[in-house]
Amino acid sequence: MTEISTLTVTALRFGFLLVLWILIFSIVSAMRRDLVIGRKTKVGAPSSRQARKHPELVDTPPPAKQQAHQLVVTDGALAGTTLELASSPILLGRAQEATLVLDDDYASGRHARLFPQGSRWFIEDLGSTNGTFLADQPLTRALPVELGVPIRIGKTVIELRP
Amino acid sequence: MSQIETVPKPRRLVEFFLLILALGIGVFANALVNINMQKPFDSDFYVQAGVMTVLAFAMHISLHIRAKYADPVILPIVVALNGIGLAMIHRLDIASGDNAGQRQWVWTSVAVVCSMLVIWLLRDHRILRRFTYISLIVSGLLLIMPLVPGLGAGDINGASVWVKIGSSSFQPGEIAKITLAIFFAGYLSSNRDLIMLAGRKVGRLQLPRVRDLGPMIIAWLASIGVLIFQHDLGSSVLFFGLFMVMIYVATSRISWVVIGLVLLVVGGLVSAKVFTHVGLRIDSWWNAFNPDVFVRSPGGSGQIVQGLFGMANGGMLGTGLGLGRPDIVPFSNSDMIVAALGEELGMVGLFAIVLLYLLLVTRGFRAALGTRDSFGKLLACGLAFAIALQCFVIIGGVTRLIPLTGLTTPFMAAGGSSLLANWIIVALLLKISDAARRPANTVPEPDSIAPDTGTGNGGATATNNSFNNPTQAVKAL
């Protein structure tokens, strides 16, 4: 094997480090085109070319979700009653300490609980005798409540309104 | 858990070009070693370059056929890291007369072939969810294997984590980290709601119920068991960290992290008192430059300090591959390979390598953000984090940020089991990223019902669906 000059060795040494960093910059620049964060944000919005090729990316955004601010009793003895929602949980039942005291023979004393978690409300059955129904499905665990979805407790039906 | 949309594009061509660059780095590194160490370019060099190229492109073509939308940068990163590792092991072999390089070549081939098999045989990563509890049992068996008399290879370098297979030894704990990740992902994705909503609040922390703590206790016991019976501090930290991160990702409850850290600190303090090897590790980290500690025979700091001296010798730009003396450091081709690379490639080179790991991990998290099912999200997150934690523990140990523990540097360190496990992890990440980036309408959804088929908006489907997607609700604020 022929002797290689110090200059070549040094050049190769730096050359290797250079190639290593070229790889990193190529990877980052390949990723740059991939960093589309959500379809609605400005930074990641698809370019007009992408939009032409993939029209499904630029569909109109769904109407913004609204937060529930009111609880309305739509059916039962208390029909018409409204309750402003704050950030504290609400106890539903016949017991006097309940937030909404239900005048309903089919409701238990402590029937169900509505509680906020993040930006949404969840309903949880507290082991009532006759059960709680969210959109006509009996509750088996805490579930999020969408606006306008009826919650039935005995003969009382309540729903959340914006 | 959030989800990110992306333009569906296969981008296999990008991968092709990056792969050429990555292969070039591996071959360049090997060539530099030969040039600088006055070794002739024998047939080994060309055969190895050829084998690596064939393996990498076989993987590339497999992806093209089976996972067309997989992330284009994961494979080149891994090939580059593996290539640099092989060159370094080859270089240390020349200095020490060992033949770890040959073994590493064989293991690399086996690992890439296994990884390809995963790509070919695993139609959808969600299938793995069916094996949630089987994975738990398999993990248990894998962790117990080294302790079974006749099967275990006994105590090697202070840890009994190896089993004998024929003439070679294998570390089943490396595979256990994959099966454990599958178990945690499957368990947490099914029981997430329960763990999240039950429990009472104390101040700002929402404490979990005691019975939901069950798996946490199991994970803690498993990692403590690994520490007690196998004397393997690194794996113990890895398993526990993996579980903690996955449960945090699943529930976004800081209380779990607090409980986990408390358990970890308690476990760590007790084990430092009870087990001499842990105590010695911590002492040799804290008092590394004490001459008594430096020369102490079991559990001295000689290895770490030699590594630090090596890296100092390398300086900013390094001595050049094959021109330093990284072979002075004990275990320089496995535990201390980062120090060897730091010495010969310098800080500039070592940072490039750390950055490659970082990019790999971010791609894993990106796959987790993009995929549509919570099992895939958790699995990708867990696997990517396992790589990240491994890098942190070993690079942190070598640079004396934390006590040195015996974890392997992913894809680089000599050691077949780790290489195999990490290549399988890469295959899984590629598979999940394929599911994440594939256009939504072509995704087969065997486990879940198609979202919003136009009928009711109530019912379990719709609620579950929006439940997995809290970002939208947050955005509406």
Q: What is the pLDDT of residues B82-98, one digit of tens each?
A: 999 999 999 998 888 88
B267, part of any domain: yes
Which among B38, B197, B476 is the nearest to A142, CB-wise?
B197
- Contact at CB, A19 and B25, closer than 8 angstroms: yes
Query: Among B8-17, B153-162, B282-291, B456-465, which is the least confidently predicted range?
Result: B456-465
Which among B7, B35, B349 is the nearest to A46, CB-wise?
B7
Inter-residue contact B238 to B181 (CB < 8 Å): no
Q: In 3-state terms, what secondary structure has residue B232?
A: coil
Task: Tell me the pLDDT of chain A (162 aa) as tens digits.
Answer: 456 788 888 888 899 999 999 999 999 988 876 665 544 444 445 566 666 666 666 555 455 566 778 888 888 877 878 878 877 788 888 887 788 888 888 888 888 888 888 778 888 888 888 888 888 888 888 888 888 888 888 888 888 888
Spell out which residues of chain B touch residue A151, defining contact as CB-CB under 8 Å.
Answer: none
Q: How near does any CA of chain B get to the CA of A127, in Å?
A: 14
Q: How far apart are CA B354 and CA B339, in angstroms?
A: 12
Q: How far apart are CA B103 and CA B416, in angstroms?
A: 8
Size of interface A-B (CB pairs under 8 A): 140
Q: How near does any CA of chain A get to the CA of B315, in Å?
A: 13
Which among B5, B21, B474 is the nearest to A119, CB-wise?
B474
Q: How far apart are CA A134 and CA A159, in angstroms?
A: 10
- Contact at CB, B32 and A13, closer than 8 angstroms: yes
Q: How far apart are CA B215 and CA B209, in angstroms?
A: 12
Average pLDDT over residues B289-300: 80
Predicted local confidence at residue B236, as pLDDT: 83
The secondary structure of B283-338 as a DSSP string is: HHHHTTT-HHHHH-STT-SHHHHHHHHHHHHHTTT-S-TTTS-GGGSTTTTTTTHH
- Contact at CB, B7 and A117, closer than 8 angstroms: no
Checking if the pLDDT of B437 tops 60, the result is yes
Instruction: Find, in chain B, the residue whose alpha carbon is nearest to that of A26.
Output: B18
Instruction: Find, in chain A, the residue whose alpha carbon is nearest to that of B458.
Output: A135
B87, part of any domain: yes
The secondary structure of B195-218 as a DSSP string is: HHH-S-EETTEEPPPTGGGHHHHH
Checking if the pLDDT of B206 tops 80, the result is no
pLDDT category of residue B243 using cuts at 50, 70 and 90: confident
Which among B21, B467, B476 is the nearest to A119, CB-wise?
B476
- Contact at CB, A117 and B76, closer than 8 angstroms: no
Spell out which residues of chain A touch residue B36, defining contact as CB-CB under 8 Å.
Answer: 9
According to DSSP H, which parts of chain A are helical?
Answer: 6-32, 48-53
Q: How far apart are CA B215 and CA B324, in angstroms?
A: 48
CA-derived radius of gyration, chain B: 23
- Contact at CB, B21 and A26, closer than 8 angstroms: yes
Spell out which residues of chain B touch residue A18, defining contact as CB-CB under 8 Å.
Answer: none
**How many H helices and E strands in chain B?**
17, 4
Instruction: Find, in chain A, the residue whose alpha carbon is nearest to that of B441.
Output: A56
Residue B57: is it exposed, middle or buried by C-beta count within 10 angstroms (0-12/13-18/19+)? Answer: middle
Average pLDDT over residues B197-218: 69
Query: Among A124-128, B211-215, B285-289, which is the least confidently predicted range?
Result: B211-215
CB of B80 within 8 Å of a chain A CB? The answer is yes
pLDDT category of residue B444 using cuts at 50, 70 and 90: very low
Q: In 3-state terms, what secondary structure has residue B344?
A: helix
Spell out which residues of chain A touch residue B458, defining contact as CB-CB under 8 Å.
Answer: 134-137, 146, 149
B453, part of any domain: no
B451, part of any domain: no
When mean pLDDT is compared over A100-104, B75-79, B146-150, B461-465, the highest value belongs to: B75-79
Checking if the pLDDT of B475 tops 50, the result is no
B391, part of any domain: yes
Inter-residue contact B385 to B245 (CB < 8 Å): yes
pLDDT category of residue B458 using cuts at 50, 70 and 90: very low
CB of B21 within 8 Å of a chain A CB? The answer is yes
Predicted local confidence at residue B146, as pLDDT: 82
Predicted local confidence at residue A47, as pLDDT: 63
Query: Among A23-27, A105-109, B154-158, B306-310, which is the least confidently predicted range?
Result: B154-158
The total of other beta-carbon atoms located within 10 Å of residue B166's CB is 6
- Contact at CB, B11 and A14, closer than 8 angstroms: no
Q: How near does any CA of chain A get to the CA of B457, in Å?
A: 9
Spell out which residues of chain B touch residue A118, defining contact as CB-CB under 8 Å.
Answer: 470, 473-474
The number of C-alpha atoms within 13 Å of B135 and in the hemisphere containing its C-beta is: 20
- Residues near A32 by beta carbon (within 8 Å), at least 6 away in sequence: none
- Contact at CB, B21 and A50, closer than 8 angstroms: no
B233, part of any domain: yes
Predicted local confidence at residue B116, as pLDDT: 94
Q: How far apart are CA A67 and CA A162, in angstroms?
A: 6
CB of B442 within 8 Å of a chain A CB? The answer is no
Q: How near does any CA of chain A get to the CA of B301, in Å?
A: 30
Instruction: List A75's β-bridge partners, or say none.
Output: A157
- Of B86, B111, B83, B116, whose CA–CA distance to B101 is shortest? B86
Checking if the pLDDT of B460 tops 70, the result is no
Checking if the pLDDT of B51 tops 80, the result is yes
pLDDT digits (tens, 9 = 90+) for B400-419: 998 888 788 999 988 888 99
Mutate to test the interface with B, among A25, A27, A54 (most CBs of B within 10 A): A27
Mutate to test the interface with B, among A3, A6, A13 (most CBs of B within 10 A): A13
B346, part of any domain: yes
Q: How near does any CA of chain B get to the CA of A106, in Å?
A: 23
CB of B45 within 8 Å of a chain A CB? The answer is no
B130, part of any domain: yes
- Contact at CB, A117 and B318, closer than 8 angstroms: no
Checking if the pLDDT of B431 tops 90, the result is yes
**Which of B 361-420 lie inside 8 A of A, CB atoms?**
363, 366
Identify the domain containing residue B51 by its residue range.
12-438+465-476
- Contact at CB, A67 and B477, closer than 8 angstroms: yes
When mean pLDDT is compared over A64-73, B192-201, B254-263, the highest value belongs to: B254-263
Checking if the pLDDT of B75 tops 60, the result is yes
Residue B341: is it exposed, middle or buried by C-beta count within 10 angstroms (0-12/13-18/19+)? Answer: buried
Q: How far apart are CA B32 and CA B39, in angstroms?
A: 10
Spell out which residues of chain A touch residue B21, defining contact as CB-CB under 8 Å.
Answer: 19, 22-23, 26
Instruction: Provide the domain count of chain B.
Output: 1
- Contact at CB, A57 and B7, closer than 8 angstroms: yes
Which among A26, A39, A137 is the nearest to B458, CB-wise?
A137
CB of B10 within 8 Å of a chain A CB? The answer is no
